């Protein structure tokens, strides 16, 4: 039970790396994180620009001391955005976009059962990469090409360990396209051989087995949303993508996207953004001729690699926005998103709310305001479209308080890029970034990881 939510202010106001600063019109956006050891935390973040809608940029990391908001030890690059990206090897020069990095793995020194496993300390980050047009060097505006992005978007990953000094990460598997074992070459990259693209989810992978040697997440292929299994290979000393489950059932009235996977007791629960079929001239990025009207599709299974049941589709809450799904430290399943019906600002993505989700019928209750950008003093209460979505709940390390974070930004872009939207003002842009808060629970909650010597 949540007894209160306290806004803590800015977690990452600006990236310190070259070409990733606000002076470059780039700001920190999508965030996630995990402990790398007893006293080191990894924060992963996708930076973002204002050249166009969804102008994702690079994947960066921060190494912090003790807690997600601890002292910054190191900031570094995982995968930079470039303007000479050539995904097809035909000499093209496109803008590369990278988005939503999600880390996973067993922290160094963490106990699994009664012992520290061999793969303790091996961690990975999964994100999404695409080519999305060319950059006009004169105006600095990206000439967006939806067809190009839709045909080149794919999942990438890297794997690493905390170094011996504890002051940086040591890369073991450099950034590369994710491919299932047995599909290392050729156009087919997984057992869904008709799949040509894949989009990664907005939540991290979860342990699949008690020994944490296997992990499960979802990918949104152009052939449908499916679970994928990652398994530790002791001979290689790395995780491998070893299995792809069946795709979610198709629906005649909805196009599905953004499958978020969570554990609730012995069940796996997936929440999916469901877009209603409406008349459009061309398919949207989710593969359907659809509109987002706030519907969420819910599915539950004991095995995400068995055929999925028919989804239950609900319009409560009326989110009309991206969402994330987490089983929080108090073991309660919660949905984080906007709520157009209840927003005092009549905004789709501001405030950020959370709801308790019933794992049986998927009804929601106990709505809490997580972050209201106006009440928090981030933005003015005007007609500017604002976004505080993409909430990340960090793994809990004990006690009654769990940390979580989200981006805050205004959805306005440069003149000539989106003609109906005024440009971002300097005052607004100064406030763009990642903010965090504390979720307070009624009782002490067990930590996600225990370490030797605890």
pLDDT range class, residue 192, cuts 50, 70, 90: very high
Mean pLDDT of 140-155: 86
Burial 233-259 (b: 16+ CB within 10 A, else e): eeeeebbbbebbbebbeebeebbbbbb
Query: For residue 205, is pLDDT > 60?
Result: yes
Strands (E), 196-253: 198-199, 206-207, 214-221, 224-233, 238-244
Question: Which residues touch 205 (CB under 8 Å, ≥6 apart)?
Answer: 102, 104, 126, 215, 216, 217, 230
Residue whose C-alpha is closest to residue 215's, from 203, 233, 228: 228
Question: Which residues touch 440 (CB under 8 Å, ≥6 apart)?
Answer: 2, 3, 4, 5, 6, 400, 401
Mean pLDDT of the chain: 92
Paired tokens of 453:
């010597």
Q: Are 54 and 30 in contact (CB under 8 A)?
A: no
Query: For residue 196, is pLDDT > 90?
Result: yes
Paired tokens of 292:
């987002």
Query: For residue 137, is pLDDT > 80?
Result: no
The reported pTM is 0.95
pLDDT at 320: 86
pLDDT at 414: 47
**Using one digit for the tens of pLDDT, what is the confidence trace for 308-367?**
999 999 999 999 889 999 999 999 999 999 999 999 998 889 999 999 999 999 999 999
- β-pairing, 72-79 vs 40-49, is unpaired
Query: How many whole angstroms separate alpha carbon 398 and alpha carbon 387?
Result: 30
pLDDT range class, residue 65, cuts 50, 70, 90: very high
Hey, which of 70-79, 282-291, 344-353, 416-425 has the most confident mean pLDDT? 70-79
Query: For residue 413, is pLDDT > 80?
Result: no
Paired tokens of 447:
């930590």
Query: For residue 419, is pLDDT > 70?
Result: no
> Contacts from 290-293 at CB under 8 Å and sequence distance 24+?
290/254, 290/255, 292/320, 292/321, 293/320
pLDDT at 288: 52
pLDDT at 385: 85
Query: For residue 418, is pLDDT > 70?
Result: no
pLDDT at 454: 60
pLDDT at 421: 60
**Using one digit for the tens of pLDDT, what is the confidence trace for 84-136?**
999 989 999 999 999 999 999 999 999 999 999 999 999 999 999 999 888 88
Q: How large a percentage of the chain has pLDDT more than 90?
A: 81
pLDDT at 423: 75
- What angle (nearest 5°) sits at the alpha carbon of residue 395, between those of residues 391 and 401? 85
Question: Which DSSP string do the residues of 125-162 spell out, in sequence order?
Answer: EEEEEEE--EE-TTT--EE--HHHHHHH-EEEEEEEEE
CATH of segment(s) 2-451? 2.120.10.10
Say whether 254 sits in a helix, a strand or coil.
strand
What DSSP state is assigned to residue 323?
A: -
**Using one digit for the tens of pLDDT, what is the confidence trace for 17-55?**
999 999 999 999 999 999 999 999 999 999 998 877 788
pLDDT at 52: 73
**What is the helix (H) or strand (E) element at residue 430, kind and residue range?**
helix 426-431
Query: For residue 377, is pLDDT > 50?
Result: yes
Query: How many whole angstroms separate alpha carbon 88 and alpha carbon 86?
Result: 6
Query: For residue 289, is pLDDT > 60?
Result: no
Residue pointed to by tokens 């991206």: 322
Query: For residue 68, is pLDDT > 50?
Result: yes
């Amino acid at each position: 039970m949540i007894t209160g939510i306290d806004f803590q202010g800015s977690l990452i106001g600006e990236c310190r790396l070259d070409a990733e600063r606000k002076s470059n019109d780039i700001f920190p956006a999508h965030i996630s994180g995990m402990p790398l050891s007893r006293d080191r935390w990894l924060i992963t973040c996708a930076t973002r620009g204002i050249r166009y809608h969804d102008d994702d940029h690079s994947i960066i990391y921060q190494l912090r001391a003790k807690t997600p908001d601890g002292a910054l030890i190191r900031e570094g690059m995982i995968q930079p955005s470039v303007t000479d990206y050539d995904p097809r090897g035909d000499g093209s020069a496109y803008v590369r976009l990278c988005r939503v990095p999600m880390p996973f793995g067993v922290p160094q020194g963490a106990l699994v059962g009664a012992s520290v496993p061999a793969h303790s300390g091996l961690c990975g980050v999964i994100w999404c990469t695409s080519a999305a047009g060319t950059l006009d060097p004169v105006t600095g505006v990206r000439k967006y090409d939806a067809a190009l992005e839709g045909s080149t978007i794919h999942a990438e990953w890297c794997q690493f360990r905390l170094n011996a000094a504890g002051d940086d990460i040591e890369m073991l598997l450099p950034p590369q396209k994710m491919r299932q074992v047995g599909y290392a070459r050729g156009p087919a990259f997984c057992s869904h051989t008709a799949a040509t693209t894949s989009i990664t989810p907005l939540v991290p992978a979860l342990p699949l087995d008690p020994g944490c040697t296997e992990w499960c997440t979802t990918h949104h292929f152009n052939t449908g949303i499916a679970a994928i299994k990652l398994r530790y290979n002791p001979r290689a000393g790395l995780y491998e993508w070893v299995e792809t489950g069946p795709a979610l059932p198709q629906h005649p009235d909805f196009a599905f996207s953004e499958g978020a996977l969570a554990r609730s007791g012995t069940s796996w629960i997936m929440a999916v953004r469901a877009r209603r079929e409406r008349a459009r001239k061309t398919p949207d990025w989710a593969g359907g001729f659809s509109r987002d009207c706030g519907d969420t599709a819910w599915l539950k299974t004991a095995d995400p690699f068995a055929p999925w049941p028919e989804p239950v589709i609900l319009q409560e809450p009326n989110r009309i926005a991206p969402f994330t799904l987490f089983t929080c430290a108090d073991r309660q399943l919660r949905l984080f998103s906007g709520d157009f019906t209840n927003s005092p600002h009549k905004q789709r993505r501001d405030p950020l709310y959370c709801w308790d989700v019933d794992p049986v019928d998927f009804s929601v209750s106990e709505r809490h305001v997580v972050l209201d950008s106006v009440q928090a003093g981030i933005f003015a209460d005007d007609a500017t479209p604002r976004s505080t979505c993409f909430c990340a709940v960090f793994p809990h390390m004990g006690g009654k308080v769990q940390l979580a974070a989200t981006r805050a930004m205004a959805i306005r872009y440069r003149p000539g890029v989106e003609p109906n939207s005024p440009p971002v003002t300097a005052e607004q842009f100064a406030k763009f970034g990642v903010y965090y808060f504390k979720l307070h629970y009624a009782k002490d909650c067990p930590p996600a990881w225990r370490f030797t010597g605890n």
